Amino acid sequence: MKATNHPKIIIDVDKDFKQQLIDICQLKNMSMKDYVLESLEKKLIADANSLTEKLELLKQLRS
């Protein structure tokens, strides 16, 4: 996906993907920017939790 310098303009994306994104944002009553940021935050938190669990297992194995 390419984006221009303007945060509200997304180009070169699949039409179906763009429509699904628009539909989701309308259902959630939020902007695309907020939806994408919220999704990224959830993914980062999940990744951090997974890494924390793996680190704990590694520490236990070393003990």
Stated pTM of the model: 0.63
Q: Which residues contact 12 (CB under 8 A, 6 or more apart)?
A: 1, 2
Q: So what's the pLDDT on residue 15?
A: 84
Q: What is the pLDDT of residue 18?
A: 83
Going residue by residue through the chain (63 aa), what tens digit of pLDDT does each one get?
Answer: 444 455 555 667 788 888 898 899 999 999 888 998 999 999 999 999 999 999 999 999 998
pLDDT at 1: 42
Could you give the CA distance from residue 18 to residue 22 in angstroms, rounded to a whole number? 6
pLDDT score of 2: 46
